Copies of this chain bind each other. A is one copy, B any other.
Amino acid sequence: MPEDINRRWTLAARPVGFPKPSDFRLDEQPIPEPGHGQVLVATKWMSLDPYMRGRMNEATAASYTPGVEIGQPMQGTVVGEVLQSNYDGLAVGDMVEAGLGWQEYGVIDGATVRKIDPEAAPISTALGVLGMPGLTAYFGLFEVGRPVAGDTVVVSAASGAVGAVVGQLAKNAGCRVIGIAGTQEKVDYVVDELGFDAGINYKTEDVSGRLTELCPDGVNVYWDNVGGEISDAVIEQIAVKGRAVVCGLISQYNADPPPQAPRIAARMLLTRQARMEGFLVFQFAHRYDEGRVRLARWVSDGSLKYRENVVEGFENAPAAFIGLQSGANFGKLLVKVG
């Protein structure tokens, strides 16, 4: 019977360039039994995030995690329900955020799992605005970008899970916010729904020219989700003492071999006395509770909006993930399971 079966999406092959369906394999395993201190979790919502592309590669000296082995489930975080518990802190029926990977069921050490209050907010938000993407935006913006009221903040992938939060937080902190996105619908959304001051459609508009119009005093904070030519265009207009926060490089993850580009950043950093800094949200792990409390408050008072792009059905995860590589999603990409 199906209830006995755990479906998993495993890594079938390491992608060369863009991932393709055959890089993933759906396998079926018996539902595992939790051991001592473990819980069995049934996935309800599965998160699809840009960082997962890096986990599909062979680990290199530059990798910050070993990544996924061929034949092993894709890594990732889910929200699910505890079906069995051998862990004191969790009971059957609890909703949890857990690093199960791409599977319908999984056992995991109870101590690594975070219990969610389903009354406080929709449980799916634990993967988005109140989860890793929201925390990434909160800590990256305030601790790395350090915006000051009156700053001009430019956000790429502005309607995405992280970008939308960054822009709203910056706006609420008194900044002028310009969003860059790849469809007019997304641009309209960040301006009309999220309150950004302006938007740029990088597929139809001249990004450099529009930035010159919109940022006459330069860009104080650039939130970089994409890398590549869009980032070159923004960094060419970085303000004196500006800050480019490198959060993601979605335009580069599938570039094989790495593209050649003119050397722009170092020159701009020098002449503008500017800073470019990468970060990983994990470096703020000791402060996640602080971030979640604030994000939840802003969501509940309406000053932080979010949008989810829900894909129904576990079997559709790879296609949705492939679409994410080129911005086919609109908002936080989630797979609704079961």
Contact = CB atoms under 8 A, between A and B. Distances in A.
Nearest to A272: B278
A273 B269 contact: no
Contact of A278 (B63, B64, B270): B270
B269 A277 contact: yes
A91 interface: no
A12 interface: no
Copy tally for this chain in the complex stands at: 2
A283 interface: yes
Given A62-B271, A273-B279, A249 B262 contact: no
Contacts of A278: 266, 268-275
Interface in A234-272: 236-237, 246-249, 252, 257-272
Nearest to A226: B266
Q: Classify chain A: how many residues form its interface, as a range.
A: 35 or more
A261 B258 CA distance: 10
Interface in A102-131: none
Contact of A227 (B224, B227, B258, B266): B266
A270 B258 contact: no
A308 B264 CA distance: 33
A265 to B, nearest CB: 6
A336 to B, nearest CB: 30
Which 8 A-B residue pairs are closest in the complex by CB-CB distance? Answer: A269-B278, A270-B278, A260-B260, A275-B277, A258-B262, A246-B270, A276-B276, A62-B271
Interface of A: 61-64, 224, 227-228, 231, 236-237, 246-249, 252, 257-280, 283
